[in-house]
Amino acid sequence: MPGDWPRLPPPSPHRSGRFHQPPSSPWRAAIVRDDRGYATVLAAGVIVALVALVSVVVYGSQLLWDDHRAQVAADAAALAGAYEAYVGRDGCAAARTITSRNGGTVTECIVRGGDVTVATCVGGRQALSTAGPTR
């Protein structure tokens, strides 16, 4: 009819406008034909990535916390040991007591003069501290 708009050809399945090749297998044809659920797969991937990131942050925070606890235990043990050595008692025994109260173990204790050097291990992390009248 005159005045009617001309009919356009149907849109191409590809942006390039090239001829559409049929999929090579029925399984692939089902994937090409139906893309429902793609957002679910994408969301699951994003969730897995976020869980992995949070796990890394939590693990790193735990390592930093254990480092801090080990250093606090070493500092307190060295101070207690230095005081006990200053008053003439066993400084390493005091260092062991203080470290165990902080949830750790003494891996090395050296009394040299009035100085006490203590190495501690808390949560698998190690720390070293020295205290005494000459420090």
Q: Are 115 and 82 in contact (CB under 8 A)?
A: yes
pLDDT, tens digit, 9 for 90 and up, residues 100-132: 999 999 999 999 988 999 999 998 899 999 998
User: Could you give the CA distance from residue 78 to residue 88 in angstroms, rounded to a whole number?
Assistant: 15
Give the mean model confidence (pLDDT) for residues 89-94.
94
pLDDT attached to residue 127: 96
Residue 13 scores a pLDDT above 60: no
User: Could you give the CA distance from residue 82 to residue 85 in angstroms, rounded to a whole number?
Assistant: 5
Lowest average pLDDT, out of 19-28, 36-45, 74-83, 114-123, goes to: 19-28
- The residue segments making up the domain with residue 89 are 38-131
Assign residue 83 a region (left: φ > 0; alpha: ψ between -120 and 50; beta: otherwise): alpha
| Inside any domain, residue 16 | no
pLDDT attached to residue 68: 94
Give the mean model confidence (pLDDT) for residues 21-40.
69
Environment class of 84 (CB within 10 Å of its CB; exposed 0-12, middle 13-18, buried 19+): buried
| Inside any domain, residue 11 | no
Residues near 116 by beta carbon (within 8 Å), at least 6 away in sequence? 78, 81, 82, 85, 91, 92, 95, 109, 110, 130, 131, 132
| Inside any domain, residue 9 | no
| Inside any domain, residue 63 | yes
| Inside any domain, residue 77 | yes
| Inside any domain, residue 29 | no
Q: What is the CATH number of the domain that holds 71?
A: 3.30.1300
- Number of domains, the chain: 1
Q: Are 118 and 128 in contact (CB under 8 A)?
A: yes
Q: Are 95 and 77 in contact (CB under 8 A)?
A: yes
| Inside any domain, residue 12 | no
Q: What are phi and psi of 130, to 5 degrees?
A: -130, 135
| Inside any domain, residue 49 | yes
